[in-house]
Amino acid sequence: MTPPVPIHARIEEIASEIVRLQGELDREIFKRRDALGWRLHEGFVEFEHGVVMEHRRLRRSAAAFVASAPPATVLTSPVIYSLILPLALIDLWASAYQAVCFRAYRLPRVRRRDYLVFDREALAYLNWIERLNCWFCEYANGVAAYVREIASRTEQYWCPIKHALKVTSPHRRYQDFVEYGDAEGYRDRLSRLRAALRTEPSTTGIGN
């Protein structure tokens, strides 16, 4: 009879499969880029000849865009954009937090520029209102990802324990945490998880 695979080993096996599938997905995305006629060169988007002209032809004017928008969209837009204030505050506060505390813990700091990505302004088929909307979403989601990475490193340092209840979309570090209720494992692995965190590169943000 074949002995059962240890739970932790099985989790690592599944995590490795996820990494493999992510690589396969990235390759398919690169193929899609070629089909749409653009590529990245030294961090900048470059379109094939003629693509930009076609994009400009398909752009709707800002006036037409507003005229076609539902009244509720126009009325609620000030509420949406008011979020820029708390977002900017948490962006600033999280940056100050890791600058002080991560240095004290000897942890690698999260590079903000790897999470806040602004590149949709290169799309000529967007009018200025659509570009403004894109900028807001890029900033809001970038700040959320940036703060989440700071929080996940903090959790790995202070409390790397899985929850008893199901967590929706846990951060990428969560699967390496100690199982809920494993007292011996917690004492044994806490120092190792902290040491592993200290030896990480300065960032593990999104790729191109």
Phi, psi of 38, deg, nearest 5: -145, 160
Beta strand spans in the chain (E): 38-41, 44-47
pLDDT of residue 125: 86
Under a CB-based contact definition with an 8 Å cutoff, are residues 164 and 179 in contact?
no
What's the chain's average pLDDT? 85
* pLDDT confidence tier of residue 178, bands split at 50, 70 and 90: very high
**% of the chain residues with pLDDT over 70:** 82
User: Model's pTM, two decimal places?
Assistant: 0.76
* pLDDT confidence tier of residue 205, bands split at 50, 70 and 90: very low
Q: Which of 20-29, 31-40, 60-69, 87-96 is predicted least confidently?
A: 31-40
pLDDT of residue 206: 41
pLDDT of residue 145: 96
Question: What b-and-e string marks burial along 172-199, b requiring 16 or more CB atoms within 10 Å of the CB?
Answer: ebbebbbeeeeeeebeebbeebbeebee
Question: What b-and-e string marks burial along 84-107, b requiring 16 or more CB atoms within 10 Å of the CB?
Answer: eeebeeebeebbeebeeebeeeeb
pLDDT at 10 over 80: no
- pLDDT tens-digit map of 104-153: 999 999 999 999 999 888 888 899 999 999 999 999 999 999 999 999 99
User: Cα(121)–Cα(67) distance, rounded to whole angstroms?
Assistant: 22
User: Cα(112)–Cα(140) distance, rounded to whole angstroms?
Assistant: 13
Which one is predicted more confidently, 4 or 162? 162
Beta strand spans in 20-171 (E): 38-41, 44-47
- pLDDT tens-digit map of 79-101: 999 999 999 999 999 999 999 99
pLDDT at 167 over 80: yes
Which uninterrupted H or E stretch holds 108? none
Phi, psi of 44, deg, nearest 5: -115, 145
171 Cβ neighbours under 8 A, 6+ residues apart: 148, 149, 151, 152, 155
Within 10 Å of residue 121's Cβ, how many Cβ atoms? 14
